[in-house]
A and B are shown apart, each in its own frame.
Chain A
Amino acid sequence: MSSALIYAEDWEHIPELLSTSAALGLSPLIIFSHRDLIDIKVAAKNGASEIITHRLEPIPTYISRLLVQVISERQPRIILGEAKKNVREIFGRAAQRMGKACVNNCNNIDIAEGIVRIIRPILGGGYNGIQELIGSPVFVTIRPEAFKKYPVKSVEEPLITEIDLKLKRDSIKLVDKKTTKRSEVDLSLAKVIVGVGRGFRNKEDLKLAEELAELLNGVIGCSRPISSDLKWLPEDRHIGLSGKWIRSRLYIAVGISGQIQHVVGIKNAETVIAINNDPDAPIHKESDYSIIADLYEFLPVLIKKLRESKLRSIYG
């Protein structure tokens, strides 16, 4: 049998990572994770037969060295992780050390006739790249879109192995970390989303979009510059290639130009409405309904009309 080694930086999606590995026909399932994070019950229930633990600080350069050690001993077919920044760095380093293939942000993974085949977004997210990975093991990070459901057999008691290794260390020091509070909203589950972009001139003006979202029992999302550059909204509100991929019933893009990298995140939204005063903005081509108007003039009119009508959102 070919085993899967799952590297977990947090345990939120351990059940999905385990069921995806099981669906690929991999067994046994082994988790590699920090000692303080492990949840034996979750691991047992979802079919992990072993948990290998470490006590390293969260510095990818160091963790990758330990991962190489674990892989050399356990010889898994696939090293699987969530598509997160630290995980990609750890996998990239370990793959280079071992001379192996690594692919990130996959939306799908399959093994057919012994060959690992993945689909991942390329060319700004406008295209699917279908790729085959040569050799074994291979390193794969997956997006939630790639999670597979599978009836896993629970394990009575996973084996816990602590790895304690004298590690070569560089001078990297984690001096400080400010943890941002997670918002209570998971955009990828929201039914109605109002997306805001650079068309808004000030942070205060987002109130207009918030008001509209509230009336529709929806939530606010944004394009990358709003969260990453301007920091008007937290990172988990970013819709796009490197952010959330929404599958809402309704998406209203307000003041968003519609760069390829944003559009990939809204492809699975059912109805898309664009409000943008630039008739040439690419977002109009990606929309079901376009409104070519200044958001500062149009939103107040729309909000007033919605308030006055007796119409209410079916969600809430």
Chain B
Amino acid sequence: MLNIHVCVKQSIDINSLEYDPDTLRPRLETLQFRIGDADLCAVEEAVRIKENNGGKVTLLCAGHNINPDIIREAMAIGADDAYVVSDPLVRDADQWVYANVLAALSVLAGQPDIILCGESSLDDSAYQVGPRIAEELDLPSITHVTRLEVKERKIIAERAIEDGVEILEVELPVVVSVGLEINTPRLPSLLMIRAASRKNVNFIPLDAIKLPKEKLSSLVKYCDIKAIKVGRKNVVLSGSLEEIASMLLSVLKSDGVIQ
């Protein structure tokens, strides 16, 4: 029986976010939230480990205005319960604060054998919460895992880095971060969604995890957020394929790429 914790973040849905063309700042009225793709891969991997080895999957989430329905969508993949801190103090959290809250939640949820995280969040792309949680709990970490196998009290992980592929072996407990390559999360069936609606989402008051003030104080502050706007011509070339190809050649010629 393995106790598996999975960290998930209620992230800004980057696909629905729009920006103001004058200020280039995000338009807050277009803000929508969902669990990030890498986090969903982490949940899927946890559920597969549970299916092969037996165990329990607990989701951990820290943030502000957490919507239990969004947590339940991730639970529908096959998680058993969830521990959530939803507090205004975590609203502008950096990864130092997230890691502190998630590590404390993991302790509260009980002795994990494996903690799984997405390698980076959909919105903040900070690439560090997994390793930070590992350090906070004094556990080994393995990031960018593309294949994971649990054998008795060990994991064997395949890890893709810039110059190659590593095979690592480590005894449990361990913190593992995964990217999109590791699996394709299943689409929950109606039955699974219904089952998830009855599962427990434990909202934990921030006071209950007893973190000192400095562990809740962000070290990285946003000064501004601006869309990167590139002026493109947006010309659609139309006609028969022959005609389009000729037009494209004249474009390349007038552009000076070919002569």
Q: CA A122 – CA B224 in complex, angstroms?
A: 11
Contacts A85-B143, A124-B14, A131-B220: A103 and B162 contacting too (C-beta < 8 A)? no
Say whether B190 faces chain A, with CB atoms less than 8 Å apart.
no
**A residues at B contact (CB < 8 Å):** 59-61, 64, 84-86, 88-97, 99-105, 117, 120-135, 138, 170-180, 182, 192, 216, 224, 228-229, 235-236, 241, 249-250, 260, 264, 267, 271-273, 284-293, 297-298, 301-302, 305-306, 309, 311-315
Complex A-B: 17 CB contacts under 8 Å: A89-B131, A92-B132, A95-B96, A99-B215, A101-B94, A123-B12, A172-B170, A173-B168, A173-B169, A174-B166, A174-B168, A180-B164, A182-B163, A250-B252, A285-B234, A306-B245, A311-B252
State how many residues of chain B have any CB contact under 8 Å with chain A: 83
Residues of A within 8 A of B167 (CB): 174-177
Residues of B within 8 A of A128 (CB): 225-228
Q: Of A93, A104, A267, which is in contact with the most chain B CB atoms at under 10 Å from its CB? A: A93
- In the bound complex, residues from chain B placing their C-beta under 8 Å from that of A272 are 232
B244 lies within 8 A of A122 (CB): no
Provided the pairs A101-B96, A284-B236 are in contact, do residues A312 and B259 lie with their beta carbons within 8 angstroms?
yes
Bound-state Cα–Cα, A90 to B95, Å: 14
Task: Enumerate the 7 nearest inter-chain pairs by beta-carbon distance, A residue then B residue, closest first.
Answer: A92-B128, A101-B219, A92-B131, A124-B14, A171-B171, A170-B140, A96-B135
B123-163 interface (Cβ within 8 A of A): 123-132, 134-136, 139-144, 154, 156, 160-163
Residues of B with C-beta under 8 A to A179: 163-164
Q: B135 to A260, Cβ gap below 8 A?
A: no
> Is residue B69 contacting chain A, with contact meaning CB distance below 8 A?
no
Question: Dominant SS at the B interface?
Answer: mixed
Give, as a whole number of angstroms, the nearest-CB distance from B157 to chain A. Answer: 10
Q: What residues of chain A lie closer than 8 Å to B234, measured between beta carbons?
A: 284-285, 287-288, 290
Residues of A within 8 A of B141 (CB): 60-61, 89, 93
Complexed CA–CA distance, A15 and B217 (Å): 36
* Binary interface encoding of chain B residues 217-259 relative to chain A, with 1 for a CB under 8 A from any of its CBs, else 0: 0111111111110101111111001101110110111011111
